[in-house]
Chains A and B, each alone.
Chain A
């Protein structure tokens, strides 16, 4: 089993799963009480307009036909219209996704690096004062829901200490650089606007930390446990017995096998952070897919809800494949098992 076959296999099974997801979400959406056409046009519209819209949206046909139309639309890029923004859901998603992507990526990269450092140092010096600090804080960190930390951090760092801004992506009145990629940070760097970059960076800190606190704590714990387990393995003792320096042992022989469980969790965490972004973006008024999704959910904007869920599913599947590839690189035993299994 080589890489190409493995990726093909995973892509195929992801497609199956996404297909199943679309079935699930579509069925759920059609179970919602209320007439979608009436909701779209509003209570004042005349009945004939509603009936005509029903025809256009194929709402009178059996449900499997509706599903068929829906899928063919999706493949054309048409996710329907949002009740809230009155625009195509697809263009809404294109507009709002980069902000979420940026926030999630930024937070996850920093938190994962931190988690690894904390986990490895805590594990290597197990039962030291540092280890105890890491363990206690990560324990508490897991128990704090993201919204709780969001509110706490707004209170402490936003109001009491006034260190970081609490709302939005940029301060009011700050000019945005020309939109090249849609990723604010990247665009700032490309346009050379460092001042905007720093402003944007500051705005990411509070929402970002709320987004990843629980996950950071969990990853640190898992890394630490993995390091502690591997420290006593014979191959570490053997490496030491051959005179390999401690630093190499920690950074090479110990690190690679210890990261395997962490990476597995990390992939889930990136995708899970997209879920968390729904809450965080709402609290911090961050113009991303999460805020969009929540407002859609609170106003029963079916098309938008379905679009957002599918997007999340696609992103999740994509992340899982990447994580699996990284894990296979870290642990060659996986590929071997695939050969026989």
Chain B
């Protein structure tokens, strides 16, 4: 029974995943972040503070029971803004990974399958060019040449993210290409497309998926750094990096304005890293 098999598979995967309790912690953190981001309007104590709101009487007040993380320069509740900020962090991760991965994987498949031809050389050299400068520098440069908005920041990160997948899949595809079942498919006249997507790609899915989960943390890290510098989301958008940057001028007296967003950035990244490790444990050895 096919569904029986799938249930067994799911149980085994869960077992492998949950062997390390930290992976469960990561899963809980990530799920919470996602839920809070989606339902921010209902979960945040002061949802109206998220974007444009002023209440100078209450501005720059330290954490109290009323405002658990204090208020910022305009009197907005920081905790609520943080909750809305989750949306932008997640948005960055989702859009970068969903846009960068398909072309990266596709190019890697083609280059790996056509190993040692001009196609391979061209594709991999182009990937090398994008990888020839530290990621941060390229993202900053691209960002700075465009208008500073959240979308351009996502674009910049996407532009320098795809080559990693190309390299990953290139390595996988070139070794799989030499396996017998590929040669069998070629001999029986299967088209290149069906070999690439039907035979090679399925064998690459585990490492690709593992890398994607591990990458989420990195994308959020780079994204928040870009907005910290001022090249990402602009005020009044409640982006976590922007919030840290805004508050940095007021350290140490109004430390909470920067500290809480910063702590939550670390929490999100940590959660995704733990989850990613768990996914890697789950998919390893398959």
Contacts and interface: CB of A to CB of B under 8 A. Distances in A.
Is any CB of A less than 8 Å from a CB of B in the complex? yes
Interface stretch (A94-102, A109-117, A150-158, A197-205): A150-158
A25 B273 CA distance: 32
Interface of A: 16-18, 20-21, 23-25, 28-29, 31-32, 139-140, 142-148, 151-152, 154-155, 159-160, 271-272, 274-276, 278-279, 282-283, 293-294, 296-298, 300, 302, 305, 308-309, 312-313, 316-317
Contact of B265 (A29, A139, A145, A155): A145
B273 A18 contact: no
B193 interface: no
B137 A148 contact: no
A242 B129 CA distance: 49
B129 A24 contact: yes
Contacts of A146: 225
Contacts of B248: 151, 283
Nearest to B136: A275
A312 B143 contact: no
B106 interface: no
Nearest to A23: B129
A147 B259 CA distance: 11
Contact of B141 (A140, A276, A309): A309
A28 B266 CA distance: 33
Nearest to A154: B251
Contacts of A28: 141-142, 145
A298 B230 contact: yes
The main secondary structure of chain B at its interface with chain A is: helix
A310 B128 CA distance: 14
Residue picked from A142, A144, A154, A275, most chain B C-beta under 10 Å: A275
B137 A309 contact: yes
Interface residues of B, number: 42
Interface of B: 125-126, 128-130, 132-138, 140-146, 217, 221, 224-225, 228-231, 241, 244, 248, 251-252, 255, 258-259, 262, 265-266, 269-270, 273-274
Given A144-B266, A278-B229, 6 more contacts: A32-B146, A274-B134, A275-B137, A297-B140, A298-B230, A316-B133
A146 B258 CA distance: 14
Contact of B251 (A18, A151, A316): A151
A294 B229 contact: yes
Contact of B125 (A17, A274, A276): A17
Residue picked from B133, B255, B262, most chain A C-beta under 10 Å: B133
Nearest to A317: B132
A16 B221 CA distance: 31
Nearest to B221: A145
Contact of A24 (B130, B241, B251): B130
